[in-house]
Structure formats: C-alpha cells, structure tokens
Structure 1
Amino acid sequence: MDKNLNSRMSIHNSYRTGFHLLDTKLPNMIYCDICSFQPMEIYVDDEAKLTLHGLVQHYIKLSEMEKNRKLNDLLDALDFNQVVIFVKSVNRAAELNKLLVECNFPSICIHSGMSQEERLTRYKGFKEGHKRILVATDLVGRGIDIERVNIVINYDMPDSADTYLHRVGRAGRFGTKGLAITFVSSASDSDVLNQVQERFEVDIKELPEQIDTSTYSMFPFVVHLYF
C-alpha cells in the first residue's frame, strides 16, 4: 500500500508537464492516476508500426559473384556522407574491407575478432569522420548512433526481421533521411525480405536505375522513436 502511494506521489510530481514514455504494463492504479492528467496517448508497442519513417528502402537481386562489382558501382554513384555495410561473418568483413581499401575507398571494419580496445578506437575514428565507409558484422548492429550515416547496405541479408530493423536503423537517425539497400542472392534471402515487409507493413521495391538524391540526403525530416 505504501509502495503504491509513494509511486502515485512520484507520478504526481513528475507528470505535471513534459513528454514521457510509459511502459504499457503499469499497474491499473498507477495508470489511472497518470490518466487524470489528461495526457496524449501514443501507442508504439505494435511491431508493425516500427517502420522507419524517412528511410528509403530498396533491394537488389543479384548472384553472390556479382556483389563486389555492384557494391563498387553503388559507392561510386551514391551521394553519401558515411555508409555502413553489413556482412554476416568476421572473415567476410575483413576481406571486403581489404578489397575496398585496395580500390581506394576510405573504408574501415569492425568485428568481434578484434579486441574491445581496437573496436573502440576504430569506432571513434569512424564517428569523427576519419573514414566514410564502415564494414561491420551484427556486433555493431545496435551500437552505432552517428549522425553522418545516411546509407546502410546489407551486403549479406540479415538472419531475421529483427536484425534487419536494427541494421537499417543506423541510417536516417537524428531526424534525418536515409537509404537502406539490401542484396538478395538466394531463396532464403527472399524469405527474410518477405518477412520484413509483412511484419513491418512496408513495401520494399527493387532499386531503380536512377534514385533521387533528395530522398536520402542529410536534411532534417522527422523525429524517430527507437526501442
């Protein structure tokens, strides 16, 4: 009883003014007390509403052997501040980064095969803009919050819709636009792409030959909520 009373008093002091995010599983007594302040309720617990507004999403169907050439073409053609390229393994991250560096792209990689100190050093360098391209595994799928990143490329398809969401969420953060491009090279890749579209109620179209730069350029667009 005392615990509930203290909670209600705390709520009374906290919710006089301001914007707050609430857990939908609050006890009824506390929830009713909050409602007495006549708040605006915005429900964001529906997975289908986690669509990343302001993020342009496309896919490219190609064979495994065509990925490197297509990636090279995209990096030459797209207007990006910084880009994150996701792959499925440590070896692929190291090899792809090596290839990009050999092609004179300003690339760096981060993966679990490195020490934490090395990963942090590389992350700091990327965040400070010393490199414009980051090749990474899902180790950093949730940990990169860099304003300059406006493009994410799924060189390898993620293993689930959840992983896809966390990957592409690296682009278009901080109220800016962004672009996500996913390579689809197998039946299983197509299955995951279909799962993403069904779960988050999005229509991901094939990448057109020409894409308007203004659709993913780094200008203020909309504030995002991420959970």
Structure 2
Amino acid sequence: MNFADLGLSDELLQAVEAAGYSEPTPIQAQAIPQVQMMKDLIAIAQTGTGKTASFVLPMIDILAHGRRRARMPRSLILEPTRELAQQVAENFEKYGINHDLKMALLIGGVQMGDQVKALDEGVDVLIATPGRLMDLFERGKILLTGCDLLVIDEADRMLDMGFIPDIEFICEKLPANRQTLLFSATMPPPIKKLADKFLTNPKYIEATRPATANINIVQHKVAVTARKKRDVLCHILRTDNVSSAVIFANRKTTVRDLNKSLKRDGFATGEIHGDMDQGSRIAELDRFKKGEINILVASDVAARGLDIKGVSHVINYDTPWHPDDYIHRIGRTGRAGAKGRAFTLVTPEDEEAIANVEKLTGLKIPVFDLSGGAAEAEPIALEPAAVEPAPRERKERPKREKRREEPRQEREAEVPAQSSSEPVAKPAATQRPRRKEQDDSEPGDWNGPVPGFLTRSALL
C-alpha cells in the first residue's frame, strides 16, 4: 500500500513525497480513511509510529474546503506539552505547503500578543496546550463554537499531568456534532470514561499491542547502588559507543545537577525540563539536533514525544515511577527502523518499579554486567555493599553518652556535621540508621542517667 491508495489529494501527495515518504505506517493506513469519512476515532498508538501524520494528513484535505473566521478556529488539536504542540505545527507546515491554510500555536512561555493577533486574523487549525487555551478562552480572546474537528493527542499523558478537567471543560464548549479523534498509548479507565462521554460511536483501532517496546531497541538493566549511579552512567557513556543519548531523570533538580556533573566530567551535554522557558528549551533542542551537544538530560514532561533522529542511546538514570513512561522514554531511540540501545539503572529501591515495567511490556529485561573484563569496572563496584562503621565509633562512646544531657535539637543538628567530617562520604540512606545507633544502647551498656560523681570527675 502507498499513500495514493488512501485517497489523499494530489497536492498533499506531492508534499508527502517531497518529505521522503511513500508508504504509510500501520497506524496511518488504518486511521486516515476513518478520519476522511468524518468518523470519531480512538487510536491506540505509541510515539514513533507515525501517529501525528495519521491525523494531520487527512485534516489538511478536510480543511482545504471552508472559510476561516476571526477568533473562531475551524479545528483544534490539544497537546500535553509545548514540544509536542510545536512538532505538530511543524508537520502542518511541512505537509500543508501546497494548501492555503493558516495555523496558530497556543503554548506557554511565548508572548500572548502574537498569538491573539493570529487568532484575530482567523485560523484553520489551532494547536494548543490546555493551560494556554483556557487562559485565552477565559479572557474572551477565542470562541470555540465554530470548531468542527477536535484531536486529543497523548491522552494518557494528559491524564498524568492533570489536564482531564480542562479537556472536559473544553469539550463542553465545542459544538456537539463535531468530529473527535483521541490518540493514546494506553487506555486507562479515566481515558475510557472520557471517550465514552465525548465521542460518538468511535471507530477503535490499535497499531500495536499497548505498551509493547520497539523490537529495534536492545534493552538492559544495570544493578547499581544509589551512590554509584553517576560512576556507572559515565562508564556507559565512555565505553558503549554512544554517538548521541537522551538521559532521563525523574526530578527536575536531578536533571540540573546531573547536567552540571557531566559537564565537569568533560561531556558535551544540555538539559531540558519543565522549569525552563520555551525559548531556552527550543535552543537546547536545536543544539542537540545540530550536534553541538550529543547528550541531552531530560525530564519526562519536557521530552515526551520528542522526535529526534539518530539518537543511539536512551539511559534511564532513574527508573521511571510509571511503567508507561518507560515505553515513551526508550522510544526516543530505535526510530524509523534504526537500531538503538536502552539502559536502566536499577537500585535496590527500584525493584518494584522495574518489575512493573517488565509486567507491562511482557519482557524480562536482561541484566547488563559492567564488570565483564572492562578496566573501569573495578572502581564502579556494582555489588551493593554495606558501609562498615569506622573503627573509632566505639571509642567515641563517652562523647555520645554525654550528648544525652544536651537538648535534643542540638544533638540532631550536630549529627550531620559529625558525619560530614568522616573520610568516606556516606549516602543519605545509611545516615539515618547510624543516627539511631547513636541513640540506642548496646547490650550490657549503662542506660540510665549519668551519676553525679562522674559529672564532677569530668569537670576536674
């Protein structure tokens, strides 16, 4: 099958051919005819399967017939993040080059004045994140009564980010007889409930089994202790033939700290996370795409759905909290038939999270052994090892006994200072138990108040 078999216009086929595509992907072959027949649609598809073109292409032909009006967009596409919205806009520009269509992009981090001006001139398609759309709607800058086609993209991510109430509000403001297309990688109950409420007799299609990882991606998990994660990460970056990599962390603070650490170690890195303004995020992505940096440290929200060619590795510095995120993370590599490698650093605390990932994907992720003869494997020390107490612990027993007479807050304030002076840096996970050992008496030790004569002797 080729795109000409799908009934697309000659102008659109020329644009598709110019972009270098001749055969539709499975999701495109199934979805495009349904959209052309103006049917509601539920499509289960992951990023990297070509799902964006599966609604962009038929929308261009549909919107080619009609007239735009000021402040009344003819169609609306909702995206969970700015980056995804921008990528959809790029698709419309690429495939709609032979059509007289106007588009507006409503995202945060961008001056609102230019966006309002575009709406005043009239747009055929409005691509927006829920937050900015709600803001402009409440200001009376946009009317939704003329919108006949709605696309809800990445619905499961919308759920994770708390956008479902906003989506319900927006759906209620749209015409009741509109066409609605819903795309999601998974179908959790809240999304099913949303679809039942706002879609009419939808056609259900599924490109691949939900949450199935790309077979072009070689996956590994690496057993590691929390304090050795950065050493292991650097070891992988230096020894696994990494041409370009996206490194995921669960927290924005971890993204920032990790980027700084890797730069100090001589790596060409950048960062992208939700606290950055839109201009800075676009600049970092451009640097990565141009090859000025070859490592991008990212959070889930910022990097969800990024389509960057040639990423050789994805490294989960933190095991994802939600198993669905694992699929989306590793999907940044192995795209368009290319091969990729994915590593997940798994601490003892992550065992449940990685087990949930394996349950969802139906795949037992093999363990990658970094000690296989590599010269750098010895200092990495992957085996979890208990930190032995320093020999002087018992000798300082009298000082700890005396500390019991001091106020509790003062004692607790001194504990970090004492531990920071020790020659071996200990992870936070081992500090709390040790503090408890200082307060607890060992068998046979005196556990009562300090006798008065001992106090007087100490003062002499």
Range class of TM-score, shorter chain? 0.7 to 0.9
| Partner of residue 133, structure 1 | 295
One-letter identity of the residue aligned with 2:347: S
State the shift of 1:65 in Å: 0.3
Whether 1:46 aligns to 2:224 is no
5 Å matches for 1:62-211? 62-187=224-349, 189-209=350-370
State the shift of 1:44 in Å: 3.0
CA–CA separation in structure 1 for the residues paired with 2:354 and 2:312 = 21
Q: Is the 8 A contact 1:85 1:155 kept in 2?
A: yes
Structure 1 length-normalised TM:
0.73
State the shift of 1:13 in Å: 7.4
1:139-163 deviation digits (Å, cap 9, x = unpaired): 2332321122110000011111110
CA–CA separation in structure 2 for the residues paired with 1:113 and 1:92 = 12
Structure 2 length-normalised TM:
0.37
| Partner of residue 218, structure 2 | 56
One-letter identity of the residue aligned with 1:208: D
Q: Is the 8 A contact 2:274 2:302 kept in 1?
A: no
1:100-145 deviation digits (Å, cap 9, x = unpaired): 1111111111111111110001111111111011111112332321
CA–CA separation in structure 2 for the residues paired with 1:186 and 1:158 = 14
Change (3 A) 1:13 1:100: closer
**Aligned length, in residue pairs:** 185
| Partner of residue 217, structure 1 | none
CA–CA separation in structure 2 for the residues paired with 1:110 and 1:43 = 31
One-letter identity of the residue aligned with 1:95: D
Change (3 A) 1:45 1:172: closer
Once superposed, what is the RMSD of the aligned Cα atoms?
2.9
One-letter identity of the residue aligned with 2:321: D
1:53-109 deviation digits (Å, cap 9, x = unpaired): 110001011111010111111111110210011011111111110011111111111
CA–CA separation in structure 2 for the residues paired with 1:110 and 1:205 = 29
CA–CA separation in structure 2 for the residues paired with 1:13 and 1:70 = 49
Q: Is the 8 A contact 2:6 2:29 kept in 1?
A: no
CA–CA separation in structure 1 for the residues paired with 2:215 and 2:208 = 16
Change (3 A) 1:21 1:200: farther
One-letter identity of the residue aligned with 1:185: T
Q: Taking every aligned residue pair, what percent have the same amino acid on both sides?
A: 32
Q: Which runs of 5+ in 2 are unaligned?
A: 9-22, 40-204, 373-460
CA–CA separation in structure 1 for the residues paired with 2:6 and 2:343 = 46
State the shift of 1:45 in Å: 4.8
Query: Rg bigger for which structure?
Result: 2
Q: Which runs of 5+ in 1 are unaligned?
A: 1-11, 32-41, 211-227
Q: Is the 8 A contact 1:111 1:137 kept in 2?
A: yes
CA–CA separation in structure 1 for the residues paired with 2:352 and 2:29 = 34
CA–CA separation in structure 2 for the residues paired with 1:112 and 1:134 = 14
| Partner of residue 30, structure 2 | 22
Q: Is the 8 A contact 2:312 2:333 kept in 1?
A: yes
CA–CA separation in structure 2 for the residues paired with 1:178 and 1:121 = 25
Higher helix proportion: 2
Change (3 A) 1:194 1:21: farther
One-letter identity of the residue aligned with 2:209: D
Q: Identify the structure with bigger relative contact order (alpha carbons < 8 Å, sequence gap 6+).
A: 1
CA–CA separation in structure 2 for the residues paired with 1:110 and 1:13 = 38
Moved over 4 A (4+): none
Q: Is the 8 A contact 1:159 1:192 kept in 2?
A: yes
